[in-house]
Structure formats: structure tokens, C-alpha cells
Chain A
């Protein structure tokens, strides 16, 4: 998967990519159950309706067939998600390259992962924020600051009152 993602970036099919979601979370916490791999991407022509078609075509050329709304790589379905907000764009821009079995793999920073989860707000996203806090991958004040920069103060306040200060 890392090889495929790097290939997509090197050939210009995507301008950049970074893992987010549960697989990214596992960089910072204990393992968590998940079904697929979420990959944030920026593409050269983001305003096209079929924004990911070139990505799927390139994956197919590499031998990875489209499946559902993603691509299967080995046993993992991989979902490509174009950046969809200022927060996700910033997360991608500030992503880090990390060694994954000898191959560099880009992954969003813990604080962005936490605030993206905060913005989504389902139970498992709340668990993700708590997991990142508990593992000390991120501090509450860092989450608060970034949440404030992206208009999520209220969500953070509610989360904090319910889960952190309780």
C-alpha cells in the first residue's frame, strides 16, 4: 500500500496523500479494529466532478482493481478521500513521513487526527480522541487550540465537559 501511494504521488496522479482514520491512529495508540484504510489526497484537478477517476485508473494500471468506492490493496479496501475542509487540507499539508516496514508512508499528525475525529463526532470518533489523549500522543490544550482555529470550539467544549473533565 505504501508503495502504491508513493507511486501515485511520484507520478503526479495525486499531489499529496496522507493516511488518516484508524490506521493512522494506530501509529499513536494501541491497535484498534478497522475495516479499511482512509487516505486523504489532493489531486491536480480538484474541481472535476469525477475527481478520483484518475486515481482509480492509476491504481488499476498498478494491478489494484476498484472495489465499491475504493480500491482493494491486498486484504485492505483503501478509500481515497479528497480534502474536504480547511482542517483536512491543513492535516495533509502538515502530514509526516514515517517509516513503515522500510517504506516511507505519509500520515497525519496526532493533533489533526484528533480534531478531524472531533469534527465527525460519532462514538468511535470520540473514542479516537480519548485514545490519542490517553496515549499522550496529543495534549488537550493542543486539541483545543487547533479546534478553535477551525471553528470547533463548541464541539471541543462539549467533548471536554463530557469526557475529559467529567
Chain B
């Protein structure tokens, strides 16, 4: 019987040890697996019929801009800005890329 807790422990230790690499080296490692991650994200998007990983920061920025515009016009204010992006909402859909 394999020592599952031991294996997981060693795997965790190995993963944590990667933190000591240089920032550039870590980014290169992320770049190496980016294609696989993208393929999985596309599959998820296709299954859900939308963009599952819209950028929440962009959504928040859009809301802030709407608030600013509304306050300038003196019209009714949109709902308070929030950085939360709900998957499948128009603000998060089609952002062209996920939040990192």
C-alpha cells in the first residue's frame, strides 16, 4: 500500500521549494504549462456556453467608470461598484482572457 500522506507531503514540500527560484524562472514555468491551462479553460467555456474566467478587475473598472459617468450627468447612480465578476454575466463575458 503506497504511503499516500507521505507522497502528498513530499509533493507539497517540492512545490514549496519552487518558491526559491527566480521570478523569471517561475514565470517561464507558468508559460510552459499555459497552453494546457488554456485548452482546459476553453473546454470549460464550451461546456458552460460562456467565458468562465472573465477578468474581474476589468469588470470592476467598467463599473467604476459607469459610476463616474453617472455622477457627471447627475443622473441615477448605478449599483455600487464591486470587483466581483459573476461568471456568465455580461460584464465578465468575452473579456478576451481570464483573470490571472
Contacts and interface: CB of A to CB of B under 8 A. Distances in A.
Interface in A8-60: 20-38, 40, 47, 49, 51
A81 B61 contact: yes
Interface string B49-62: 00001011110110
Contacts of A22: 30, 100
**B26, B29, B38 pick with most chain A CB within 10 angstroms:** B26
Nearest to A124: B99
B84 A69 contact: no
Nearest to B60: A84
Given A31-B18, A84-B64, A120-B84, A36 B30 contact: no
Given A27-B26, A49-B69, 10 more contacts: A21-B99, A23-B27, A23-B100, A38-B55, A67-B96, A68-B95, A79-B95, A81-B58, A84-B81, A85-B83
Interface of B: 15-19, 21, 23-24, 26-27, 29-31, 33-34, 37-38, 41, 53, 55-58, 60-61, 63-65, 68-69, 81, 83-85, 94-100
